[in-house]
Amino acid sequence: MFSICAYRESPYLEACIRSVLGQNYPTKAILCTSTPSPFLEGMAKKYRLPYYVREGESNIRDDWNFAYAMADARLVTIAHQDDCYRAGYVRALVNSFYRFQDMTLFSTDAITVKNGHPLRTERLRLVKKLLRLGLRSPYMNHLSWVKKSALMFGNSICCPSCTYNKEHLGDVLFTSDFQFVLDWENLFTLAERPGRWICAEEPLVFHRIHREAATSACMGENRREFEEVKMFERIWPQPLTKLWMKGYRRAYGAYVGNIDEDKH
């Protein structure tokens, strides 16, 4: 089941909904928000989606936990409103689950959409694929150190591509106090728990970065870097953390740099 996490009035939400409902394998979807509006209610009615509103102040951890909790299904994908899914996503998910009943996390490769165009030869994407190599082996991808290897130099797993096995992981998924590296810390914590991680290296998600998202990241630049340092310190000795952060800053700068107004 897709639980679409909606915030305010994104011009990309409808494309996300259509991609979720256009899967070539039967699935269901719900729309969740902490910022209710006639726009979101209208979208829910237009596509006949159950519509859930969380009370209280918006924050990413509570919003994601709410979206996860509202999904009445064993396998839950928290869909981000700016992203789209290829029609074969659910079929690939179900095929992996039928093959490996101990699967706790499913993910796929993703294509970044920047300035309205997919970056199919993105260098950072190739690096992430290398970091995920261990997850492609059914003989190893249930081991904690193999799962963590995909997270040692940053988060190589695209958050919107993730589906979680609620039966194994429980009703509360995100416990981190971080804002910018919430998904990275959450995955590192989940890697220590029993269960198999499956990564289908077919690009089944289009992950959009755009002016609004980049502005938010820049506004919180100091906070973001603080959290990234804390994550690297959790994994590596301090001298290595300083070394990795230099390369990480350059990679992130290239990733979000030169964003024009997106075309939608």
Mind listing the pLDDT tens digit of every residue in the chain (264 residues)?
999 999 999 999 999 999 999 999 999 999 999 999 999 999 999 999 999 999 988 889 999 999 999 999 999 999 999 999 999 999 999 999 999 999 999 999 999 887 777 876 667 788 899 999 999 999 999 999 999 999 998 899 999 999 999 999 998 999 988 988 999 999 999 999 999 999 999 999 999 876 555 444 444 567 788 888 889 888 888 778 777 777 666 655 544 555 454 544
Q: Which of 216, 254, 248 is nearest to 233 (CA)?
A: 248
Domain 2-210 has CATH 3.30.980.10: no
pTM (2 d.p.): 0.90
Sign of CA dihedral 98, 104, 110, 115: positive
Q: Which of 81, 85, 1 is nearest to 40 (CA)?
A: 81
Residue 210: per-residue pLDDT = 63
Structure tokens at 85: 């899914």
Structure tokens at 30: 């719900």
Domains of the chain: which residue ranges?
A: 2-210
Q: Which of 204, 209, 98, 97 is nearest to 161 (CA)?
A: 204
Residue 240: per-residue pLDDT = 80
Structure tokens at 247: 């390369």
Residues shown for the chain: 264
Q: Which residues on adjacent β-strands are paired with residue 164?
A: 76, 105
Residue 245: per-residue pLDDT = 75
Residue 127: per-residue pLDDT = 86
* DSSP 3-state of 165: strand
From residue 178, alpha-carbon distances to 29, 61, 118, 261 in Å are 27, 8, 29, 28
Residue 112: per-residue pLDDT = 87
Residue 250: per-residue pLDDT = 64
